[in-house]
A and B are shown apart, each in its own frame.
Chain A
Amino acid sequence: MSESDNILEMRGITKEFPGVKALDNVNFVVRRGSIHALVGENGAGKSTLMNVLSGLYPYGSYTGDIIYEGEVSKFYKIKDSEEKGIVIIHQELALVPYMTIGENMFLGNERGKKYAIDWDKTHAEATKYLKIVGLTDSSKTLIKDIGVGKQQMVEIAKALAKNARLLILDEPTSSLNEADSKALLDLLLEFKKQGLTSIIISHKINEVSYVADDITIIRDGKTIETLVKGVDDLSEERIIRGMVGREIEDRFPKRYGVSIGEPALEVEDWNVYHPIYAEKKVIDHVSFHVNKGEVVGFAGLMGAGRTELAMSIFGRSYGRDISGKIRIHGKEVTLHSPRQAIDAGLAYVTEDRKGSGLILTNPITINTTLANMKGVSNRGVIDRDKELSVAEKYRQKLNTKTPSVRQNVGKLSGGNQQKVLLSKWMYADPDILILDEPTRGIDVGAKYEIYCIINDLVAEGKSVIMISSEMPEVLGMCDRIYVLAEGRIVGEFGREEASQEKIMASILSVDLAEKEKEI
């Protein structure tokens, strides 16, 4: 391939965040007029790479070069890359719900003279672009009044209005149903005919196979390989193998004396709606159970609804119009608040430890006892010394590295913060622990320690639900695995039969089943 055939070359891109190397010497080449797919697991670095390209992470915050249209490019902000025709559509839609389609489409890109908006022109052009993407809604409709599928189309129309030459779509079909997804992909193929180059980040392998000319696989911030249409096998199995091909070494502690008992938690026909978009069903007729002494995994990809499921069960901390039954140790319970959930024996260890799990400005002592103040207080008076010893006890038990338990949690490393968070919930002495991404952002050594803790918990007869996007972890730790996709349980596997391919396959089978419905 000669140079001028490549619209984009990213060479040796390395991007670091405190404590984490998100991208490690990544090389990425996009052919002009092609649809190039970027695939990889959660956290592999796909979005980070595109954020570097678009200028969200400005020039200077990374090392390496971006060569666009043959020139070395330095983008300091999003507008810089947009001026060159690089437009990125983020996974979290950048639409303002209470404004109209027209207003949103030209936000930051207004029609009219500098700083003066020509509203007639705005609406006329909006209508034009809406037509191109196949929407018939009036440009004066409010965003919150149209469905997510159409909102996604508005985003694309918005990008077209910016005269995009290189369009980047980050998980564009993650919230779309089968029909809308196909419409979007066909649109991309249309655009390709007109000379538009697209980069699509997606975990939906079947869609990737459908549209992509080239597929680049990223894992742990490194480029693994690029598959080219016509040269390499672009089948789904081939792609999955490239994505996931990690050896499962002895990264998981062995469990001895595994004894699984009666069901500790049973959830029946659970339904949850989105708190803001009231028609969107986030959890759809989910039923599952967890036995005593069992580690049950919830696998799936981002947006599948696992966190939402957990939080809605945990005292209705998420969602509205929730319906379904919960039984704990065989008895039916209604949990309307986290306090009720905790009293019933549940614990939820959040995936967002800094935002909703820990109080960063408070010391380890306070964070450890927060969910169970009764244990260190008597009639409202805190026994400081007891609290101190509880914190010490858990520090030693979990091997939390800190100069003192009086240290503010904000000053600890990610792994140690996670340990403090675990301490809090362990101290609440629950029967059932829901761990949401318990080892995210943690180094290998600390991960192993946390796995040991999980094993100890279930050895005591407790139950653990592990929500994780790291497949090896789910496969290595769990007795049973549920697979969630788009708010539904699409598969259940026992330890022996489970495998990464099977899990991915059941995620995809949702789409397949839908396809079959159409036929």
Chain B
Amino acid sequence: MTSKTKVLNFVQKYTMIIALVLVTAFFAWRTNGKILMPQNITNIISQNAYVFVLATGMLMCILTGGNIDLSVGSVVCFVGTVGAVMMDRDLNMWLAVLLMLVVGLLIGAWQAFWIAYVKVPPFITTLAGMLIFRGLSNVVLQGKTMAVTNEKFVQIFGGGANCYVPDFFGGENINILCLVVGILACIIYLVITTRNQITRRKANLESGSLAATVIKAVIIVAVVIFFTLRLAQYKGLPMALIWVVAVIMIYSYVTSKTTVGRYLYAVGGNETATKLSGIDTRKIYFFAYTNMGLLAGLAGILTIARLTSAQPTYGQNYEMDAIGSCFIGGASAYGGVGTVPGVIIGALLMGVINIGMSIMGVDANYQKVVKGLVLLAAVIFDVVSKKKNS
């Protein structure tokens, strides 16, 4: 391979990361570095926690063939409503959490049934869901706001002023626990990567270029350290981050290491071939949409915790954020392509753009247009690169 092709391949593979770096640099310049300040870095994570969670779930649906779920915003609102009302009636916090997740799961299963077994187009089913659950939220709340006062709940799920993991090491100006966690994460990552490389090379299997792996590792470690440093300089690890990381780890595992995950990619890649290979594709669609409901439930929990209240208007446009993150993160509108890390990068990109524009004081409408353009660019890029490959 010529060096030119090598560079091109590299660019194609890591486009999103490069885009993220460039966009961050752009905003760093335009905000005079403000965006890289500890508080803002923390906000990127804690304010966008729901996006990471929803986008991960949306990815599962998009993988099956470009199918989206328009109802997630309303489901978030409805689940939050149910939880807030229950906790207001003094229901045990953990029971309320369980209830919220179950409600999300049931809603997901309901929609999944119509989509997978009755073959109602996902667009219609979830559009209807979007309206039905918004209406139901309104009915339950009677148009009013309900405060969420359970402090423990708020704290654990990332809301309020104290929703950070307390520093066991009692650092004064800097959250030592946070730093420790960051360093630990890097060490674990390095150990796993090294082990993988050793076992692969021993078995004489395919292992990729050593240089690329090393570079990738160095970059990841650098970014993680930077992030944790910033977080440590503010208030430490936001609780929301814990949940987000949990979701990312679980679903990265599901998509890359489980048969269910594999089938998601297969159905999106070529449904006929998958059917003829003996897989019941209806079950796969059912899984994707039920799972989306579950994650919407989690996002509902995070939302009412962060906003310490439930209102019938919450969750609006959440589906756009999630869908946008997926496409920007490299998911294909035709299905079968897309990864959880990619989607997270996409969500990060959108988060950076959001916060960057806010800091710059950009008009809300401008922001919407920019986001629309970014989505457009991502979708076209996807189509163009598909044409090139075929």
Contacts and interface: CB of A to CB of B under 8 A. Distances in A.
Interface string B259-275: 11010011001101111
Given A359-B270, A361-B337, A366-B265, A339 B279 contact: yes
A148 to B, nearest CB: 25
Contacts of A388: 205-206
Interface stretch (A123-131, A378-386, A439-447): A378-386
Given A380-B260, A382-B258, A338 B276 contact: yes
A261 B90 CA distance: 74
A483 interface: no
A410 interface: yes
Contacts of A424: 277
Contacts of A358: 270, 273
Interface string A373-408: 100010011101100110010000000000011100
A424 B273 CA distance: 11
B280 A362 contact: no
B303 to A, nearest CB: 31
B259 A317 contact: no
Nearest to B275: A338
- Dominant secondary structure of chain B at its interface with chain A: helix
Contacts of B275: 317, 338
B257 A381 contact: yes
A357 interface: yes
Contacts of A343: 278
A392 B200 CA distance: 13
A355 interface: yes
A388 B265 CA distance: 18
A337 interface: yes
B269 A377 contact: no
A342 interface: yes
A356 interface: yes
Nearest to A411: B389
Given A380-B258, A424-B277, A360 B270 contact: yes
Contact of B205 (A366, A370, A392): A392
Chain B CB count within 10 A is highest, among A315, A342, A380, A389, for: A380
Given A338-B277, A356-B276, A366-B262, A361 B203 contact: no
A382 B266 CA distance: 14
A350 B274 CA distance: 12
A384 B257 CA distance: 7
A451 interface: no
Interface in A40-72: none
Nearest to A424: B277
A343 B257 CA distance: 24
A469 to B, nearest CB: 21
Nearest to B257: A382
A373 B274 contact: no
B336 interface: yes
Nearest to A388: B205
B194 interface: no
A371 B272 CA distance: 13
Contacts of B265: 359, 362, 366
Interface in B16-40: none
A380 B199 contact: no
Interface size class of B (residues with CB under 8 A): 20 to 34
Contacts of B269: 359-362
B5 interface: no
Contacts of B336: 359, 361-362
A348 interface: yes
A29 B256 CA distance: 60
Contacts of B279: 339, 370
Nearest to A338: B278
B390 interface: yes
A356 B206 CA distance: 28
B274 A370 contact: yes
A177 to B, nearest CB: 31
A410 B205 CA distance: 22
Contact of B262 (A339, A373, A392, A410): A373
Contact of A404 (B206, B262, B273): B206
Given A366-B265, A410-B390, A385 B203 contact: yes
Given A366-B266, A373-B259, A385 B278 contact: no
B262 A317 contact: no
Interface string A316-332: 01000000000000000
A273 to B, nearest CB: 20
A392 B260 CA distance: 23
Contact of B206 (A361, A366, A380, A405): A405
B384 to A, nearest CB: 15
Interface in A304-354: 314-315, 317, 337-339, 341-343, 348, 350
Nearest to B279: A339
Interface centre among A366, A370, A377, A384 (most CB of B within 10 A): A370
Contacts of A380: 258-260
A389 B205 contact: yes
B212 to A, nearest CB: 13
B175 to A, nearest CB: 36
B272 to A, nearest CB: 4
A385 B199 contact: yes
A281 to B, nearest CB: 24
A243 to B, nearest CB: 33
A356 B273 contact: yes
A424 B279 CA distance: 14
Interface in B290-343: 336-337
Nearest to B389: A410
B367 to A, nearest CB: 34
Given A361-B336, A373-B259, A380-B260, A350 B276 contact: yes
Nearest to B386: A361
Which residue of A338, A342, A358, A384 has the most chain B CB atoms within 10 A of its CB atom?
A: A338
B50 to A, nearest CB: 28
A510 B37 CA distance: 84
A342 B280 CA distance: 13
A384 B279 CA distance: 20
Nearest to B258: A380
Contacts of A356: 270, 272-273, 276
Contacts of B274: 359, 370
B262 to A, nearest CB: 6
A337 to B, nearest CB: 7
Contact of B266 (A338, A359, A405): A359
A406 B260 CA distance: 20
Nearest to A369: B262
Contacts of A410: 389-390
A317 B258 CA distance: 27
B277 A371 contact: yes
A389 B265 CA distance: 21
A371 B278 contact: yes
A421 to B, nearest CB: 9
Q: Which of B259, B265, B278 has the most CB of A within 10 A?
A: B278
A3 B263 CA distance: 63
A205 B279 CA distance: 43
A335 to B, nearest CB: 11
B21 to A, nearest CB: 26
A444 to B, nearest CB: 27
5 contacts: A317-B275, A343-B278, A357-B276, A370-B277, A381-B259
Given A317-B276, A370-B266, A373-B259, 8 more contacts: A337-B280, A342-B278, A357-B276, A360-B270, A370-B279, A381-B258, A382-B258, A385-B199
Interface of A: 314-315, 317, 337-339, 341-343, 348, 350, 355-362, 366, 370-371, 373, 377, 380-382, 384-385, 388-389, 392, 404-406, 410, 424
Nearest 7 interchain pairs by C-beta = A359-B269, A339-B278, A356-B272, A371-B277, A359-B270, A342-B278, A338-B278
Interface of B: 199-200, 203, 205-206, 256-260, 262, 265-266, 269-270, 272-280, 336-337, 389-390
